[in-house]
Structure 1
Amino acid sequence: MKKVFLFLSLAAITIISCKKEATKSCPTSMADLAGTYSFVKVESGGGGTYSDVTSYYTEACERDNKLTLNANGTYTYTDAGTVCTTDESSTGNWDIDITGHLNIGSVGPFNLDDLTIISFDCSTLVAEADFGTVGSTPIKVRFTFRK
């Protein structure tokens, strides 16, 4: 009986002491976002439902490119890995405006201006752009980048 009680006590302590780890959230200042990112995926959707459209909007040679956001407000987009027929490397300026929107400009196949930052966990950045509405459903394109 003592062994059963001991086993149940240990099981209860283990269950009670285990808790789900909260999703990490990091500040989204220019200094915090600075770093080199890879495109993970592009999603399109509306009304809370998104579909992965990465292969529709990007060529294979674009999926390994790097976007470096510097804390001083400059960026470098590098056509890395498999180089596309036309080298898409570019440089420019980026910022976070007074409303908190991320503005990078035209990078590869995308216009990354006026993006709403959805989440940032210090390594994965998710941001989306509004593309109007169809009927009463807002259409959005969501970009996921990883440092």
Structure 2
Amino acid sequence: MDKVRKPKNIFIEGAISPEKIAQSIANHSSKTEIGGHSIFLGQVRADQKENGAVIGIEYSAYAEMALEKAFEIREAIFEKYPLTCMHIYHSLGEVKTGELCLFVFTSSKHRKAAMDACEELVERIKAELPVWGKEILDSDEHVWKVNT
């Protein structure tokens, strides 16, 4: 019988800590059928804008819609790739430059599936998830971020 997957809360208030990432990796050491993991970490950059330097990003989302979309993306990626595990964590609220705002972690028996799935997952999250970032500039201005 197939395991029924349920939507999970992917949101974390504030930055994603290195300890959370380390614990997530450690939690998989008992899953000995896994042969490869692929991890993507999104970090807030200190971009220089016309009106100042970015010192942080304030993330917001239409949470219910975003969680439904994340679940839809998860299911499509699970269908396409032979994965053992998949985890998505995205920040909400303020994240300072140098801190982590996105953590995507895929696992599979073989590395290629984990790497390909992770890359596609990140691209789909950036393109499809209703999450918005307002860049906080050192000039006290706030401007909507445009994903590139």
Please tell me the TM-score bracket, short chain as reference: under 0.3
Whose helix fraction is larger, Structure 1's or Structure 2's? 2
Q: Choose 1 or 2 for highest CA Rg.
A: 1
In the superposition, the TM-score normalised over structure 2's length comes to: 0.24
Q: Which has the higher strand share?
A: 1
Q: Which has the higher contact order (CA 8 A, sep 6+)?
A: 2
